[in-house]
Structure 1
Amino acid sequence: MVHSNRIRRIGNKEVGTGRPTYVIGEIGINHNGELANALALIDAAADAGCDAVKFQKRTPEICTPRDQWDIERDTPWGRMTYIDYRHRVEFGEDEYRAVDEHCRERGIAWFASPWDTEAVTFLEKFDVPAHKVASASLTDDELLLALRATGKTVILSTGMSTPQQIRHAVEVLGSENIVLLHATSTYPAKAEELNLRVINSLEAAYPNVPVGYSGHETGLQTTVAAVAMGACAVERHITLDRAMWGSDQAASVEPGGLARLVRDIRTIETALGDGVKKVYASELGPMKKLRRVQHTLPAEGVTTTA
């Protein structure tokens, strides 16, 4: 049964049951603080046929525990304190203005996962079409309420969360304007821990909410399988090169793989069909040639669809 209210809007596209899979290329901080990397990743996502790219937006002083600020670490830019590193990889208004302009030129949507309420205010200045809740933020009621107040579609990842925590988050956000994404928050995630059947469990638990999949595995086949199981939206981390520095790179998809992933998702959508068994006109020739006992077919039993 198709639920008419299992549809959400992100910009000029509908997401949900019976609609094309909404494909999100998660750039996150895989740009490593370099605008040129971000623009190249936007190009890769647009060229592959993605619907959107996603970033992460943090206010470092809020999101970084105070006791970690002064811990030094080695980075590609030399040894620096953790708080300085967080600032180094964080885009500000100038960078996001360039991102916004480039996405408009390429005809692809962009939004982000805000990690604090100040980041929500920052993103709203760009009138993004949606907001994302990272799995790590699912229990942050203050953030969820700020996102609900925007009136935008909110995409909620459910990794590292219990059914009770998910239920509470949905109640805080309200179910009318959200999309749920099944996820396993391990980077990279093992196949035996992906538990793709949770997609169907979430569909059953939230009959009026579109359900998708956020994958952190290596390889593409399990993400394609998620679409075959009904995921209406798919998110995968993307990178220019998995060997680049950064914690998310290894579980990310490179441009060539991203193009194959979107191609295979579109093929799966076409192949799934409508579930109505029929005899295609293309089968009549083989039927005549191969079937030994012929029954007369009523006219309505044959479709001319190729």
Structure 2
Amino acid sequence: MGRNNKFKNIFSSENKSTYIIAEMSANHAGSKERALEIIRAAKDAGADCVKVQTYTPETMTLDSDKKWFKIDKGTWEGENLYSLYQKAYTPWEWQEELKNESERIGIDFFSTPYDNTAVDFLEDLGVEFYKVASFSITNLPFLKYLAQKGKPIIMSTGMATLAEIDEAVRTIKEIGNDQLALLNCSSAYPSIADDMNLKNIKNLEETFDVPVGLSDHSLGSVAAVTSVAMGAKIIEKHFCMSREIENPDASFSMEPDEFKKMVDDIRAAERAIGKIDYSISEKEKNSRIFRRSIFAVKDIKAGEELTEENIKIIRPGYGLKPKHWDNVLKTKAIKDIKKGTPLSFDLIKG
């Protein structure tokens, strides 16, 4: 692993820090300078990693206007696949400079390849781990080729049945590559809460014995923060400089201030999750005094019986604990007790 690579930590059982990926995708909107700006802004917003995608329109589809190549529903309704990928792809000639800039400022860099030529390109570039998109999970020949490189793989599971996920996981592991993490994912753009099924995170972890996270295409950060509470080790979220900059991914991407707020909330959630620990913190110790205890609420003479009229369970906690209530009722004071005195055993008989 490279000097900046934090991804390896997700395979450590000791690691408690969620790995947060800023997905650039098409948000550069055709500008290399904006792509570099996104990398720097992602670092400032607290991302551990920035991710690009490595494909060309030709490696993805055919330049055809036939009906099969038209998108008829969703965010990109009416688009032709080839023209959509022309708008969205990150030119390969940029990617070495993007990787170098990431290394310079100390943020991890990796990519989603979509075919073998992209894998070969990224191998020459020295990329140290890979992302498999949900749309590639059934491309088993591609998974075999990628797994043979021996690099860690993060694989999204959107649209896949459990059987398809199992087949993909086995394909990778049978090559001998066991450095695999899965991302629960709803491959709708944007995703809605009803389709997120975050309970899958724990089930995927238990079923496949791998680190699991969330590839989040929903709006806002509720799903991401909730996922961390449910055991997610990785959060991937689309990142843009502004949703006003038109491109195919802008509508479901986070702007820098929103991303930073999500990162801060995730880090706060990690601290709140903490560990199994029933010891009492120093702050809790200071608060214990405001529990209830038994106090004299009237002046009580020596020899007078303690009753519900002259003693009560009230705050603060300087007197006997409430569990002693039945033991002290009907006992007698052995000395005068002033109203407002915390009750103790040395003030009563028995």
TM-score by length of 1: 0.84
Deviation at 1:126, TM superposition (A): 1.5
Does 2:121 match 1:160? no
Could you say which residue in structure 2 is the equivalent of 1:177? 179
Q: Deviations over 1:197-253 (max 9, x none)?
A: 11111112112x001111000011121111111100000011111233223211111
Residue 186 of structure 1: aligned partner = 188
Task: Give, in angstroms, the shift of residue 157 of structure 1.
Answer: 0.2
Give 1:109's aligned amino acid. Answer: D
**What are the Cα deviations for residues 22-68 of structure 1, in whole angstroms up to 9, with x where unaligned?**
00000012212211111111111100111101111113222113534
Q: SS at the partner of 2:248?
A: coil
Residue in 2 aligned with 1:283? 284
Which residue number corresponds to residue 142 of structure 2? 143
Match of 2:208 in 1: 206
The one-letter amino acid of 1:15's match is: I
Question: In structure 2, how many angstroms separate the alpha carbons of the residues matched to 1:54 and 1:205?
Answer: 27
Letter in 1 for 2:199: R
Which of the pair has more CA radius of gyration?
2
Tell me which residue corresponds to 1:300.
none
Q: Which ranges of structure 2 fall in alignment gaps of 5 or more residues?
A: 71-79, 294-319, 323-350
Structure 1: 5+ residue stretches without partners: 1-8, 73-80, 296-306
- Stretch of structure 1 that moved more, 158-167 or 271-280: 271-280
1:149 CA displacement = 1.0
* CA–CA separation in structure 2 for the residues paired with 1:200 and 1:43: 33
Compare 273-282 and 190-199 and name the one that shifted more: 273-282
The question of whether the paired residues in 1 share the 8 Å contact of 2:51 and 2:109 is answered with yes
- Of residues 86-95 and 13-22 in structure 1, the stretch that sits farther from structure 2 once superposed is 86-95
Task: Encode CA deviations 1:231-286: one digit per residue, 9 max, x unaligned.
Answer: 00000011111233223211111111011011111111111111222211221222
Higher RCO, 1 vs 2 (CA within 8 Å, ≥6 residues apart): 1
| Aligned sequence identity (%) | 34
Name the CA shift for 1:10/1:170 in 2 (closer, same or farther; >3 Å). Answer: farther
Letter in 1 for 2:227: A
> Once the two structures are superposed, what CA deviation does each residue of 1:61-118 show, in whole Å capped at 9, x if it has no partner?
221135349x99xxxxxxxx96576456533443112101210121001111101110
Matches of 1:186 and 1:147 in 2, distance apart? Answer: 25
Distance in 2 between the 1:244 and 1:262 partners? Answer: 23
Give 1:125 shift. 1.2
- For residues 170 and 134 of structure 1, the distance between their equivalents in structure 2, rounded to whole angstroms, comes to 14
Match of residue 247 from structure 1:
248
Q: Which moved more, 1:172-181 or 1:127-136?
A: 172-181
**Residue 58 of structure 1 corresponds to which residue in structure 2?**
55
SS of the residue aligned with 1:270? helix
Mark the CA change 1:34 to 1:196 in structure 2 (over 3 Å): closer, same or farther.
same
Residues matched between the structures, number: 280
How far apart are 1:289 and its partner, in Å?
A: 3.4
CA distance 1:88–1:221, change in 2 (3 Å): closer
**Cα 1:67–1:53 shift into 2, 3 Å:** same
* Partner in structure 2 of residue 11 of structure 1: 5
Q: TM-score, normalised by structure 2?
A: 0.74
What CA distance in whole angstroms lies between the structure 2 residues aligned with 1:253 and 1:90?
Answer: 19
Determine helix, strand or coil for the equivalent of 2:27: coil
Q: List 4+ stretches of structure 1 deviating above 4 A.
A: 81-85
Q: Match of 1:178, as an amino acid? A: L
Instruction: Give the Cα separation in 1 of the matches to 2:81 and 2:194.
Output: 34
Task: Classify the secondary structure of the residue corresponding to 1:242.
Answer: coil
Where do 1:1-306 residues align within 5 Å? 11-13=5-7, 14-16=9-11, 17-19=13-15, 20-68=17-65, 83=82, 86-87=85-86, 89-174=88-173, 176-207=178-209, 209-292=210-293, 293-294=320-321
SS of residue matched to 1:240: coil
